[in-house]
Amino acid sequence: MSFVHLHVHSYYSFLDGAAGPAELLEKARHFGMSALALTDHNRLTGAIRFYDAAKKLGIKPIIGAEINIEGGYHLTLLCKDMPGYSNLCRLLTAMHCSKSPDRPAATRSMLDSYHEGLIALSGCRLGEVPQLLIKGEPLGAARAAGFYREIFRHDFFIELIRHPSRRGAPTCYLLSSFAQEHGIPVVATNNVHHLGMRDYRIHELLNAIRLIVPVTQLPGPRTVEQYFKSPAEMERLFNDFPGATAMSGEIASRCNLDLELGRPRFPRFDLPVGQTAAGLLRKLAYDGTVQKYGGLTQELADRLQMELDTIEKLGFCSYFLVVWDIVRWARARGIRCQARGSAVDSLVVYALDISIADPIHYDLLFERFMHPLRNEPPDIDLDIDRRRRDEVRDYIYRKYGAENVSCVATINTYLARGAIRDAGKALQIPQATIEEACKGIHWLSASKLMEKAETLPELKDSSVYRRPDLKEFFKTCAAIDGFPKHLSVHLGGLLIGENRLSDLVPLEPSSGGDIISQYDKDDIERLGLVKMDLLALPTMTVIEEAVRSIKQGRGLDIDIDKIPRDDPAPFAMLRDGKTIGVFQLESPAQREMAGRLLPQTFDDIIVSLSLVRPGPLKTSMDKVYLKRRHGREAVEHLHPSLEGALGETLGVILYQEQVLRVAHDLAGMSYAEADGFRRAMTHDRTEDEMGKMRLSFIRCAMKKGVKRDVAEEVFGHLAAFAAYGFCKAHAAAYAVLSYQTLWLKCHYPAEFMAAILSNQPMGYYPPRVLAADARRSGVVVLPPDVNRSSDHYAVEDGAIRVSLSQVKGITGETIASIIRERGKGRFTSLRDFILRVEASQPILENLVKVGALDAFGKRGDMLAGVPTLLQFKRHTTSSNPPLIGDMPGQYDSTHVPDTIGAKQSAGPDAIVDPNHVIASETKQSFDRSTQTVRESLLNEREILSLDLSAHPLDFCNLDKGFTRIKDLPALATGRSVKLAGSVIRYQTPPTRTGKRVVYVIMEDGTGVADVTVFSDVQEKCGKYLFRSGWLEVRGKIQRRGPKSLSIIADVIKPLRQRS
Amino acid sequence: MSKLIDEPITVHVSKESGPTAFIWRKRLYRVINILSWWREPSEWWNGEPVRILIRVTAECKRPGIYELCKSDSDWSLRRLLD
């Protein structure tokens, strides 16, 4: 075997490598190399995708790592085989998880324990042997080499890296002589860090980012030589070191790792004696089915048999039992928990009580979830009450052992904003320029930035992207687009191993202390390991808290899983779009859809959830469905055989399951084949591949007597839909939660909204919008009160009392202290409060400013008294007695002039900023304090993020031409209106034409309005989009359905104060 | 010992063997031998390209060791070595 690169860093060396594994492999293929190693720093994060891609290219993948060892040295390790790979995983885990301050670093004893199956190369310039030789310590180098030889025996090599410089290559000669003297074989490597020679710039930039220094101050020595050299170039470079390049081929031939990717490696479920996993699963499934359906019909028995046979055949029985056990454990402790996604298609999953949506009732298709042709482990994702998710996680750790469980990693990569910030800092671009360049960029890739800067209205007017002096800078940002930066914890993923996890996956602590895999979820799946998604769903917490609050406050014991699903009142509320806070139905698109669809039944919620998806929207199927639904268009099927598949949705494809049924019914595919067909269409395909699928579908359909043009048209619908469609099982599972939250909001708005407010952040809307919505539902929202508020929003005589935790800066300790002291007796004065509670001066002042102590005096008086009372408290709690005259009684309630300076009012025509509410010169008196309403509002906005006393627009001298949002429903369609409001959020969903439409959600204190901004208006007013918090919108009222209402914007500009 | 020169020169290059001669201060120097060559990183953030340094033995009246520097298409005599 000719020369093989054995020391190669990819960008998974995290800011110390400037090429991806695929690019490196492509280069190896270009040079005709038969093998290639990947040796990232202290990690295998890129190893699985490298292995997979290399196999596909017919290149032998050599997995390894360049590790740190104690003393700050480096060592290159390569896996010979599976035991070697396992040892590398164990070694990396031990290095990362050690308690040493120098971690990750391997100790001699770690190397001693985990060396079998590994080949060691002496490493780069920072290797122990090279370093000691460079330092002039040949004896030390000999001792080190002796240790490595003892450990790795004939698998230890001296690594020669030759980077020509003014000084020649002295280290290379030094090492070569040393190797010869000690009888150690040498091997040529190039310590590759980038692809082409000129890419050293990107490598240096990444190094500067990693070391947090400007590129001008990078520590030396610098080199351009760490690029992917061709075998010929390496041969020339090492022509005076005979055998050094050939040795790389020899080493490569010793590496023959077979990772057996894709082989399922499921956790073992502890079975009762004499029981098999398949037997237990069958018993549980049959028992559960009988219990749920009250008996076993032939249909149920056939379905169960089919599902169980498939599960058993694929070897997934243990996996189902593991999930069943987790859910059983959680439910037994009152933790709300249920499956989401395609798992809900399964009767076995339902019978095991893992899901709550009946697959028979909703006519769900098991093959969408699992079938024999699908060569992937199953994926049962669980939604769990957010507050109690960690209890479930801890149970899994206990049950399967900490060594067998870890969190799954997510690889954080560069997008435009991060690239501009990090590269800008390293290249010493002025901060103001960086800020200007980052403005208005949301989720944009750096490589598309310049293109988008030409086309996106909000970026077009910014000159920063057109500055000639920044042209190279933006090119550099694009060059690091998508590069990995670091690992973080996957939101819900938990990994359960077949055996000790570190035998197969290197582990490391996250910045938060959780142990995470070095692989992300895709690599975990390729390895055949089970990732359990335990997703913390705040909606479940909300339901649980609302139900408990209803019981506490009203004495009503509600079984939320058994509420009637034909209650007309919640549906009336849904049709009116009053769904802020309702799970999955609160977005502008869903509220608008409700006004068009006019849902009347639970099944309509499933339809609604599925209609507002890119699939139906991009194919305009929403319009067709609604026309048919309301009788404005006859229901027609392209072919009679489609009636069974599409009858329930009036001839329109709404669900992924229907793609399977259509392919089955029209083209005669088995459901398993049909799912393969669906999955094939969801991935990016070349026109050629798509053409082949089309031909195959049409041929199959024609065999069944379907006309070519009909088959072609049906295929067109399937192809357009498949990539973006919704799984009906998922919609059905979520519809249950949607309906439960809708029902709670309808009948118990105070309890429901209090629970929603307690569980922020969640959903679409910030607390101030939720609180305003609660008020519109007739629920009073009371300010915090130290004698009444707790650590969550509570219902108090039908009103919502703001939580203490909403107060900016307040700590958990202070809240606990307030509640604890209150338990001993109510607070009677400011002095009493300060003396009994542990709170800092800023917190005390914030509590006073938002009225939490209003019962004890005027806010201005109390603010003035806080410092003295705190001083008095310090005296009384220290050994020094209080001085006469420091007695604070005088501050209890006596009048002290208002010390809060009035905020400077904005000048005429000033752009409104939510933090500088437009000032009215007219002060209004405020109950119990000298604060004005305006000041109270300022404090509420700043400290509580709520508008309790008023709304900022109440202080704007808006002329009569403005319409308040609450008045919109009474106005005629097409009428021109002018709105003022603050922006809650923007949305840019995919559209059929591909043209971007921006949806702006605005509120003005009287309601929430949805504003649609089409491309022509974006062109005119784009510079204000995404940049202004307060907008003036001129537009026309549009109604796309009997109860839907939105504003089509004509003009958008920042809201300006009227003088 | 070496002396920093950093002056522009004109270099005759053969495709096969690299620099064959150069003109420095209006005198022609014939390259006798190429001793070594290497590449140096530059201040790329200021738009500078990678520099190629070539150490040669050349003679005008008598032989000497010279360091030629190629940056893009510009050549300079970097150093004179004793």
A505-A75-A18-B51 Cα dihedral, nearest 10 degrees: 180
Give me the mean pLDDT over the A269-273 stretch: 90
Nearest CA in chain A to B53: A166
The predicted structure's pLDDT at residue A733: 95
Q: Do A224 and B39 count as a contact with CB atoms less than 8 A apart?
A: yes
The helix/strand/coil state of A890 is: helix
Distance, CA of A229 to CA of A28 (rounded, Å)? 9
Q: Do B39 and A201 count as a contact with CB atoms less than 8 A apart?
A: no
Looking at the complex, report in whole angstroms how far the Cα of residue B62 sits from the nearest Cα belonging to chain A: 24
Crossing angle of helices A687-703 and A671-682, in 10° steps, is: 150
Chain A residues closer than 8 Å to B38 by CB = 164-166
Please give the structure tokens belonging to residue A549.
């609050």
Contact between residue A919 and residue A943 where contact means Cβ atoms under 8 Å apart: no
Q: Flag whether residue A216 sits within 8 Å of chain B, measured between CB atoms.
A: yes
Distance, CA of A125 to CA of A226 (rounded, Å)? 12
Per-residue model confidence as pLDDT tens digits over A766-809: 999 999 999 999 999 999 999 999 999 999 999 999 999 999 99
Q: Do A222 and B37 count as a contact with CB atoms less than 8 A apart?
A: no
Helix extents (H) in A242-346: 244-254, 277-293, 298-313, 317-332
What's the whole-number average pLDDT of chain A? 90
- pLDDT confidence band for B70 (50 / 70 / 90): very high
3-state secondary structure A465-495: HHCHHHHHHHHHHHHCCCCEEEEEEEEEEEE
**What are the start and end residues of each CATH 2.40.50.140 domain in chain A?**
965-1054
Tell whether the model's pLDDT for residue A833 goes beyond 50. yes
Looking at the complex, report in whole angstroms how far the Cα of residue B33 sits from the nearest Cα belonging to chain A: 16
The predicted structure's pLDDT at residue A907: 38
The predicted structure's pLDDT at residue A55: 96
Tell whether the model's pLDDT for residue A93 goes beyond 50. yes
Looking at the complex, report in whole angstroms how far the Cα of residue A222 sits from the nearest Cα belonging to chain B: 7
Q: Flag whether residue A239 sits within 8 Å of chain B, measured between CB atoms.
A: no
Distance, CA of A77 to CA of A420 (rounded, Å)? 35
Chain B residues closer than 8 Å to A221 by CB = none
Distance, CA of A576 to CA of A570 (rounded, Å)? 10
b (16+ CB within 10 A) / e for A821-856: bbeeeebebbbbbbbbbebeeebbbbbbbbbbbbbb
Q: Do A472 and B47 count as a contact with CB atoms less than 8 A apart?
A: yes
The predicted structure's pLDDT at residue A162: 94
Classify burial at A616, counting beta carbons within 10 Å of its beta carbon; exposed 0-12, middle 13-18, buried 19 or more: buried
Per-residue model confidence as pLDDT tens digits over A558-616: 999 999 999 999 999 999 999 999 999 999 889 999 999 999 999 999 999 999 887 78
Q: Do B37 and A166 count as a contact with CB atoms less than 8 A apart?
A: no
Nearest to B41 among A166, A168, A200 (CB): A200
**Where are the domains positioned within chain B?**
2-81
CATH number for the segment(s) A11-254: 3.20.20.140
Per-residue model confidence as pLDDT tens digits over A1014-1046: 988 988 888 787 777 899 999 999 998 888 899
Residues 6+ apart with CB under 8 A from A301: none
Question: How far lies A250's CA from each of A76, A124, A191, A238, in Å?
Answer: 16, 20, 18, 16
Chain B residues closer than 8 Å to A204 by CB = 41, 44
Nearest CA in chain A to B67: A166
Distance, CA of A184 to CA of A146 (rounded, Å)? 10
Specify whether the backbone of A825 is left (phi greater than 0), alpha (psi in -120 to 50) or beta: left
Chain A residues closer than 8 Å to B69 by CB = none
Question: How far lies A755's CA from each of A539, A744, A795, in Å?
Answer: 9, 11, 9
Classify burial at A110, counting beta carbons within 10 Å of its beta carbon; exposed 0-12, middle 13-18, buried 19 or more: buried
Nearest to A350 by CA among A275, A298, A300: A300
Tell whether the model's pLDDT for residue A669 goes beyond 50. yes
Count of residues in chain B: 82
Q: Taking chain A, what is the end-to-end CA distance rounded to the nearest angstrom?
A: 82
Contact between residue A256 and residue A79 where contact means Cβ atoms under 8 Å apart: no
Looking at the complex, report in whole angstroms how far the Cα of residue A452 sits from the nearest Cα belonging to chain B: 25
Give me the mean pLDDT over the A254-274 stretch: 90
* Strand partners of residue A339: A382
Q: Which residue has the tokens 């003014």?
A: A166
Q: Flag whether residue A167 sits within 8 Å of chain B, measured between CB atoms.
A: no
> Is pTM beyond 0.90 here?
no
Q: Sheet of A794-796: strands edge to edge?
A: A781-782, A799-801, A794-796
Tell whether the model's pLDDT for residue A1057 goes beyond 80. no
Contact between residue A390 and residue A330 where contact means Cβ atoms under 8 Å apart: no
Tell whether the model's pLDDT for residue A426 goes beyond 80. yes
Residue A606 phi/psi, 5-degree rounding, is -60, -45
Q: Do A197 and B50 count as a contact with CB atoms less than 8 A apart?
A: yes
Q: Chain B: which residues have CB within 8 Å of chain A?
A: 36-41, 43-45, 47, 50, 53
The predicted structure's pLDDT at residue A889: 42
The predicted structure's pLDDT at residue A540: 96
Classify burial at B33, counting beta carbons within 10 Å of its beta carbon; exposed 0-12, middle 13-18, buried 19 or more: exposed
Contact between residue A401 and residue A420 where contact means Cβ atoms under 8 Å apart: no
Tell whether the model's pLDDT for residue A713 goes beyond 60. yes
Chain B residues closer than 8 Å to A197 by CB = 39, 50
Distance, CA of A916 to CA of A359 (rounded, Å)? 54
Tell whether the model's pLDDT for residue A901 goes beyond 90. no
Distance, CA of A687 to CA of A685 (rounded, Å)? 6
CATH number for the segment(s) A965-1054: 2.40.50.140
Q: Flag whether residue A199 sits within 8 Å of chain B, measured between CB atoms.
A: no
Nearest to A847 by CA among A746, A940, A757, A751: A940
Chain B residues closer than 8 Å to A215 by CB = 45
Nearest to A538 by CA among A369, A384, A670: A384
Q: Flag whether residue A874 sits within 8 Å of chain B, measured between CB atoms.
A: no
Contact between residue A993 and residue A876 where contact means Cβ atoms under 8 Å apart: no
Contact between residue A1002 and residue A1009 where contact means Cβ atoms under 8 Å apart: yes
Q: Flag whether residue A217 sits within 8 Å of chain B, measured between CB atoms.
A: no
Nearest to A166 among B45, B50, B53 (CB): B53
Residue A570 belongs to what H/E stretch? helix A568-575
Give me the mean pLDDT over the A509-535 stretch: 92
Chain A residues closer than 8 Å to B50 by CB = 197-198, 200, 224
Residue A184 is given by DSSP the state -
Q: Do A197 and B44 count as a contact with CB atoms less than 8 A apart?
A: no
Give me the mean pLDDT over the A477-495 stretch: 93
Q: Do B36 and A164 count as a contact with CB atoms less than 8 A apart?
A: yes
Q: Do B41 and A165 count as a contact with CB atoms less than 8 A apart?
A: no
Per-residue model confidence as pLDDT tens digits over A326-361: 999 999 999 999 999 999 999 999 999 999 999 999
The helix/strand/coil state of A674 is: helix
Classify burial at A149, counting beta carbons within 10 Å of its beta carbon; exposed 0-12, middle 13-18, buried 19 or more: middle
Chain A residues closer than 8 Å to B43 by CB = 216
Distance, CA of A633 to CA of A618 (rounded, Å)? 20
Q: Do A427 and B40 count as a contact with CB atoms less than 8 A apart?
A: no
CA angle A467, A470, A472 (to 5 degrees): 130
Tell me which of B2, B4, B39, B42 to substitute to probe the interface with A (most A C-beta atoms closer than 10 Å): B39
Residue A81 is given by DSSP the state S
The predicted structure's pLDDT at residue A614: 79
Amino acid at A998: V
Look at A112-126, A705-719, A833-847, A928-942 and tell me which has the smallest mean pLDDT.
Answer: A928-942
The predicted structure's pLDDT at residue A931: 64
Looking at the complex, report in whole angstroms how far the Cα of residue B38 sits from the nearest Cα belonging to chain A: 5
Tell whether the model's pLDDT for residue A43 goes beyond 80. yes
Nearest to A327 by CA among A254, A268, A383, A406: A383
Chain B residues closer than 8 Å to A166 by CB = 38, 53
The predicted structure's pLDDT at residue A914: 37
Chain B residues closer than 8 Å to A216 by CB = 43, 45
Q: Do A216 and B36 count as a contact with CB atoms less than 8 A apart?
A: no
Question: How far lies A352's CA from each of A36, A323, A381, A1020, in Å?
Answer: 47, 9, 14, 57
Q: Do B43 and A200 count as a contact with CB atoms less than 8 A apart?
A: no
Chain B residues closer than 8 Å to A225 by CB = 39
Distance, CA of A895 to CA of A890 (rounded, Å)? 9
Nearest CA in chain B to A428: B45
Crossing angle of helices A298-313 and A317-332, in 10° steps, is: 120
Nearest CA in chain A to B78: A166
Nearest CA in chain A to B54: A166
